[in-house]
Amino acid sequence: MIQRIQTLFLLAAAAAVLLMFGFALVEYRSGEMGFTLGLVGLSFADGGRAEDVSLQMPLAALAVALAAMWVLLIFLFRNRQRQVRLIRYTYLVGAALVVAEWITHRSVVAYLKQGGAVDAMLQPAFFLPLAGLVLAYLAERAIKKDDDLVRSADRLR
């Protein structure tokens, strides 16, 4: 199970999404105030939480669900067709996470613009779900290649 390349791709995809918890997604500058947006909410640059702003989208729940799905898919190695089908469902969850990130970012910008001009800088963690989706796609291709190899070996017997 571990020796298969698709297992490594799925583990890397899950790790990429879970890394989002440790880093800021977006940093904002509004006048003299600095803010950072993470998966759990908006906080001031000094580390205090902005209590009057709550996330409307469950970013943390989507990220955990996506990572858990990719880890659980590793254990479906005996049924490759089901594994491929379920990986395709994770694309929807990953796309939902990316869209939720973008909507949350735009709503925070709109909220902060009430106090003046806002500079927003997307951080690398903002793009980690896309990296996870690419790794999941590579895992899907490796699973299909595995399946083709097994089918050709069965034909030879």
Task: Give tens-digit pLDDT for 12-69.
Answer: 999 999 999 999 999 998 878 888 888 888 888 777 777 666 666 788 999 999 999 9
Question: Which of 141, 153, 123, 136 minimizes the C-alpha distance to 16?
Answer: 136
Q: How far apart are CA 23 and CA 126, in angstroms?
A: 9
Question: Which comes out higher in pLDDT, residue 16 or 150?
Answer: 16
The answer to whether residue 131 scores a pLDDT higher than 70 is: yes
Domain boundaries, the chain: 5-151
Kindly report the pTM of this predicted structure.
0.86
The CATH T-level fold of domain 5-151 is Butyryl-CoA Dehydrogenase, subunit A; domain 3 (1.20.140)
pLDDT band at 113 (very low <50, low <70, confident <90, very high): confident
Residue 117 reports pLDDT greater than 70: yes
* pLDDT greater at residue 52 or residue 79: 79
If one counts every other C-beta atom within 10 angstroms of the C-beta of residue 69, the result is 20
Q: Residue 71 in contact with residue 81, Cβ under 8 Å?
A: no
Lowest pLDDT segment from 20-24, 80-84, 129-133, 150-154 = 150-154
